[in-house]
């Protein structure tokens, strides 16, 4: 699977799952500002960052699966 296919597989589809985690008020403020600076939602920003890490990890593994 190439990078584009992996990104489509990870990002497309019915988003029914949730990941919850605790952050400090300071981190929340910084993430909110980062999302605003990038004209995106916090959810979209986090999804994009996680997808970038998934792709990088898979590249390190030779894009298996």
**Mean pLDDT (10-residue bins), the chain, 65 residues:** 88 86 96 97 94 92 67
Distance CA 33, CA 23 (A): 15
Count of structural domains, the chain: 1
At residue 62, what are phi and psi to the nearest 5 degrees? 80, 25
pTM of the model: 0.77
Helix then strand then coil, % of the chain, to nearest 5: 65, 0, 35
pLDDT score of 61: 83
Distance CA 17, CA 27 (A): 23
Give the range of the structural domain holding residue 46, as residue numbers without chain letter: 3-62
pLDDT score of 1: 80
Whether the CB-CB separation of 58 and 9 falls below 8 Å is answered with no
């Amino acid at each position: 699977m190439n990078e584009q296919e992996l990104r489509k597989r990870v990002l497309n589809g019915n988003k029914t799952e949730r990941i919850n985690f605790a952050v400090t008020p300071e981190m929340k403020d910084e993430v909110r500002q980062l999302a605003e600076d990038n004209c995106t939602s916090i959810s979209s920003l986090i999804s994009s960052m996680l997808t970038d890490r998934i792709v990088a990890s898979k590249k390190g593994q030779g894009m298996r699966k």
